[in-house]
Amino acid sequence: MIKGGTKIYCPFCKEFQECQRIDLPHRDWEDKDQRKQHPEHKDLAWFERQRKCLECKNQFTTVEIDKDVLDELIKLRATFDGVRYEVHDLEADLLKLNDRLKNFQNKLGLQRAIGNQKVKVSRKSERKLQTLFDFIN
């Protein structure tokens, strides 16, 4: 194994490994400045390094940033996870409500269908019913 690297978390091995700083071959079209700054968020500035894991030989980029930025990222992730769980719960509640609404609509539709049906009564039966009605009253 080649020595000389710093122990850094390798995103491929998913653990801290000996990693070597490497220089990429120079290309004219590429921005070689390792000092970067976000064009819209000027407070987001960092120093980039290309690394090669000496265990798995994969390459990746690391950045050196102000710790406050990292703390902000951790808080944002926690907030986002909380919102995601709430949205998941709300979706489950909405699905349940949707099922209840469909059941209600089905029952309502059935009641309307029954209510709209006209009962056919013969003239003879109608007279009998009228007689019965008169007797009751």
Q: Which residues bind Zn ion (CB under 5 A)?
A: 10, 12-13, 17, 53, 55-56
Select 5 or 17, whichever has its Cβ closest to Zn ion. Answer: 17
Which tokens belong to 131?
Answer: 């007689």
- Taking the complex as a whole, how short is the minimal distance between the CB of residue 22 and Zn ion, in angstroms? 13
Q: List C-alpha distances in Å: 88 to 80, 81, 93.
A: 12, 10, 9
Closest CA to 54 of 22, 21, 19: 19
The distance of closest approach from Cβ of residue 54 to Zn ion in the complex, given in angstroms and rounded to an integer, is: 8
Calculate the CA 94 to chain-centre distance.
Answer: 16
Closer residue to Zn ion (CB): 18 or 72? 18
- What's the Cα-to-Cα distance from 58 to each of 31, 66, 72, 74, rounded to whole Å? 22, 26, 29, 26
CB 51 within 8 A of CB 21: yes
Q: How far is the CB of 76 from Zn ion (least distance, A)?
A: 27
H helix or E strand, kind and range, residue 113: helix 67-116
Task: Tell the smallest beta-carbon distance from residue 4 to Zn ion (Å).
Answer: 16
Which residue's CB is nearer to Zn ion, number 9 or number 104? 9
The smaller minimum CB distance to Zn ion, of residues 20 and 69, is found at: 20
